[in-house]
Amino acid sequence: MTLEVIVLAAGKGTRMHSVLPKVLHELADRPLLEHVLDTVRQLRPARIHVVYGYGGEQVRERLADADDVNWVEQAQQLGTGHAVRQALPDLSSDALTLVAYGDVPLIRADTLRAVLGQCSGQGPALLTAELKDPTGYGRILRDHTGAVTAIVEEADASEAERQITEINTGFIACSADGLQVWLDSIDTSNGQGEYYLTDVIGCAVQAGATVCTVRCADPDEIAGVNSQVELAKSERRFQARQAEALMETGLGLRDPARFDLRGDLKFGKDCVFDINVVIAGEVTLGDQVSVGPNCQIIDSEIGNGVEIRANSVIEGVRIADHCSVGPFARLRPGTVLDSGARVGNFVETKNTTLGEDSKANHLAYVGDATVGHRVNIGAGVITCNYDGANKHPTVIGDDAFIGSNSALVAPVTVGKGATVGAGSAVTRDVPEGQLALTRAEQQVRTDWQRPKKEKKN
């Protein structure tokens, strides 16, 4: 029996107070729906059907790369049973069907496998949970033998039924043909005037089917996202899960509660992160990388023995072994630091290669530049790479020295071993080994007096 998955993702999410469809709100920089799709893919289904509705075009555009998804429109939102019914014509009649939810991003594949394992093909299998506070959830009704007889939604439950603490998570597995028969039997005679998917259970029992259940041990897995508060809670739960997994494989986190992974991180031995580090995109670290507090690293490769000091932002960068960055440095896309290079506080680089053992220790901007080995770039130096229309390159040879507060007006080349005196504006190439000075000669006037304020009476 092949597996097909239906993911319900048609809701507007009124409580989000947003024009964005609920399933497109992001958890760790990725849409909620994308998390769910990644999870159900681990089950290797033959097909995945996503039922979309509110903001449907936005949903499809945002997940345009999901070429394994069959998109099914629910033009009117008439309940979960109605949503599943929209996908039935596309299901194989002999398929084992799992219903999942695009706004429940923390569900684990192993939990869903357990539900599928309980599905006999003759009756449905449910994922349930035991909650201290079951408010808002449908309750599982059982007879004196413990057999499931129905699910009652809270709005339709009696006072006694509301005291039940075993709840329906919404995840259900059953045969496609059985689902078709039972969905044809439900109606809208309930407090919401909707077609409840949960009514399928009562129909199945009446038809003589046995309902199997799997208890979810971790309530975080089945937490839906219906508001900004719930989204924030899910974010923290997700980040805690990721932090624990990384630490289990050797990453040192000074405080795992203050770490965010919003992408993919690969790392070597003895890497340590201080507090409030954010990793986004694809990031690779070598051995013995130290990252200080309040740093952001995006889509970058970092070598062995690198120190990233506090409050630095690194994006689209390649850093070789034994480099030092920060504090308060910003390395923008296209930056390459060769072995032993140093970029200090309040230095910004972009589309620049800084050669071996070269350094820009403070208060500099180096853009569209190729910097050789053992170059010193002083405080206040800028490469003037943009003329208002086009970018131009700066080339600095090995062992050059660029004095403080100098401007290198590109396109320009500073030769090997050349020196640019402090305060110079260099507009022409500087030959190898030569000194370039453009500042005015200093004058001292002995007859000058500083203006004084007149004393007020």
Q: Is 25 in the active site?
A: no
Structure tokens at 396: 């600095």
pTM recorded for the entire structure: 0.91
- Domain 244-436 sits in CATH 2.160.10.10: yes
Domains 3-222 and 244-436 equal at CATH topology level: no
Alpha-helical runs (H) found in 351-448: none
What is the Cα–Cα distance from 182 to 186, expressed in whole angstroms?
Answer: 7
CB count in 10 Å sphere of residue 292: 21
Nearest to 126 by CA among 191, 192, 210, 68: 210
CB 274 within 8 A of CB 292: yes
> From the centroid of its chain, how far is CA 198?
33
Domain boundaries, the chain: 3-222, 244-436
Angle at 108 between CA 105 and CA 110, to 5 degrees: 160
Residue of 35, 362, 373, 392 marked active site: 362
One digit per residue, pLDDT tens: the chain, 457 residues?
Answer: 799 999 999 988 899 999 999 999 999 999 999 999 999 999 999 999 999 998 989 999 999 999 999 999 999 889 999 999 999 999 998 899 999 999 999 999 999 999 999 986 678 999 999 999 999 999 999 999 999 999 999 989 999 999 999 999 999 999 999 999 999 999 888 878 889 999 999 999 999 999 999 999 999 999 999 999 999 999 999 999 999 999 999 999 999 999 999 999 999 999 999 999 999 999 999 999 999 999 999 999 999 999 999 999 999 999 999 999 999 999 999 999 999 999 999 999 999 999 999 999 999 999 999 999 999 999 999 999 999 999 999 999 999 999 999 999 999 999 999 999 999 999 999 999 999 999 888 889 999 888 888 887 7
Is domain 3-222 classified as CATH 3.40.50.300?
A: no
Are residues 339 and 355 in contact, defined by beta-carbon separation less than 8 angstroms?
Answer: no
